[in-house]
Structure 1
Amino acid sequence: MSKRIVITGGAAGIGRAIAERFLQDENRVAICDADPSAVAAFQTLYPQAIAKVADVTSEAGMETFFNDVETAWQGVDIVCANAGIGGPAGGIETLQYDDWQRCIATNVHGSFLTCRWAAKLMKEQGSGAIVLTSSTAGIMGYPLRSPYAAAKWAVVGMTKTLAMELGPHGIRVNAVCPGAVEGPRMDRIVANEAAARGVTEGEIRASYVTGVSMKTWVTAQDVANTVHFLASQAGNKISGQVLSIDGNTETLAP
């Protein structure tokens, strides 16, 4: 049976891979993203999907998006609170408060707004699955990336709490923690870290592989496959879990 699936940050990167994985099974998919060009490209490729421009830090903007989805579907089965940003790189004393706030807002507040809506609809129907996107930085220390680490740890805390809060209503809540995911977003993060550390981008890339047991990067498809499993009937007793998709990150320290 076709499922109703909402994915934030769904027009590019991990979010798009998740959307495409669910679309393979002919599910109904709705995505939002802050990038208008990415949303337009997604909608052109997948006209059957709902695709909207929305900033996950805007309560009004997200309410408009969610209201459109609710009107179209009268419910939701799977919600992926995926939208996030890497935030600034640098020692804590060098970081700007505005950059800190933006990182926290996108990663944490966006997840809150998404889960609040999902919980309301799912409690009414007595079922549902929520998957939040954290990071290996959400379970480990991450030098020179304190805003991102703090935000992603908060996502893990939200996951554990909502699993307990919503479990009695038949709702499962889990988080995925991707490692270094190949793609344009990680390219930007590598460039920022290289500048903050005063080393080459090649050295930063090598450090990511060095700190991973399997000596490999992750693909967006790797993450999408795990999310698909967690939200499926095969994972119907998995809740409150934080799953790393990273080849076993041993350290994020340089």
Structure 2
Amino acid sequence: MDLQLKGKVAFITGGSMGIGKAAALELAREGVDVAIAARRLHHLEEAAAELRQMLATQPGAGRVLPVVVDTTDMTTIEAAMAATAEAFGGIDILVNGAAHPGGLVRSELAEADPQGLLQDIDIKVVGYFRCAKAVAPYMRRRGYGRIVNIGGLTGRGSKQLSGMRNVAIVHMTKTLSDQLGPDGITVNTIHPGVVETPHIHELYEKEAQKQGLTAAAVESNYVKATPIRRVLQPEEMGWIIAFLASPRSGSITGESLGCDGGLTRGIFL
């Protein structure tokens, strides 16, 4: 399927690694010019060099631009988006992915840090909001826009207090879809499952210490709990994001999609 993405421009926060980087690769393969945004320039430059190398043999691939952003600071967001628009002519797609992996508050109430919870919400929820607010004028000028928020399965269960940030993102997604829909802009959220990223191995180690298991045993337990019986790959999230970022997905907005291999057992109508 031709996703009709060639010539579009994407801005991806959390774009230097993991799912954000995978999304950048898939979008660029479709001919999208991509700005990857994160706080640390050296990580961005390494990621950009790696992406360019992978795209070198792809005819018609998009360009990759590293831009420094702190999603808790509106000034840096606006500056990075202005630089992206200057380099590529505008912005059509926003992928919100900048967040502390797994959340800062994963402990029980007695040990939970209120400041950590506030930081989680500032980085992820308010950070996504800041980026949506900053990008909307660019999309309105084009009469087209796609915002894809990366949520998390903790928002669909009660295991982690940090999950409330993902619940808030779902609410924001639906609200913004109402406000931006008349301008040709859709807003959706994906909830990735257990995805093979550098951060997932940190989670395995933390869970292993809490449960008195090895990291390999923790990973095995996740696999056993997943109906498709495997860990997901970052490129699988990239494929889903590329579709949601495309004109082909224009009828889908305000939705939250579990991309988890069936790990979630709840029924969401």
Same fold, TM-score > 0.5, yes or no:
yes
- SS of residue matched to 1:94: coil
For 1:151, the equivalent position in structure 2 comes to 165
Query: CA contact under 8 A between 1:175 and 1:243: conserved in structure 2?
Result: yes
Matched, 1:114 2:131: yes
1:98 counterpart (115, 124, 141): 115
Match of 2:57 in 1: none
Could you tell me which residue of structure 1 aligns to residue 18 of structure 2?
13
The match for 2:97 is 82
Residue 130 of structure 1: SS of its match in structure 2? strand
Whether contact under 8 Å (1:90, 1:196) holds in the other structure is no
| Larger mean Cα displacement after TM superposition, 163-172 or 119-128 | 119-128
1:189 aligns with 2:203: yes
Question: Are the structure 2 counterparts of residues 127 and 163 from structure 1 closer, same or farther at C-alpha, using a change threshold of 3 Å?
Answer: same
Question: % of aligned pairs identical?
Answer: 28
Q: Which moved more, 1:173-182 or 1:227-236?
A: 227-236
CA RMSD in angstroms, aligned pairs only: 1.9
AA aligned opposite 1:179: G
Trace 1:61-76 onto structure 2 (pairs within 5 A): 61-76=76-91
Q: 1:212 to 1:45 in 2, by over 3 A?
A: closer
Shift of 1:46: 4.6
2:151 pairs with one of 119, 123, 134:
134
Alpha carbons 1:179, 1:249 under 8 Å: kept = yes
Pairwise mapping of residues 223-238 of structure 1 onto structure 2 (< 5 A)? 223-238=237-252
Structure 2: gaps (5+ residues): 1-5, 53-62
Judge conservation of contact 1:211–1:251 (CA < 8 Å) in 2: no
Instruction: Using the TM superposition, give the Cα deviation of residue 251 of structure 1 relative to its aligned residue in structure 2, in angstroms.
Output: 5.1
Please tell me the residue identity of whatever aligns with 1:151. R
Unaligned runs of at least 5 residues, structure 1: none
Deviations for 1:65-102, whole angstroms, at most 9, x for unmatched residues?
A: 12212333342111111112222331122122232222
- Amino acid aligned to 1:90: S
- Are 2:225 and 1:220 equivalent residues in the alignment? no
Q: Which amino acid aligns with 2:22?
A: A
Correspondence for 2:46 among 41, 45, 70: 41
Secondary structure at the aligned position of 1:111 is classed as helix
Q: AA paired with 1:94?
A: E
Q: TM-score, normalised by structure 1?
A: 0.90
Q: What is the total number of aligned residue pairs between the two structures?
A: 249
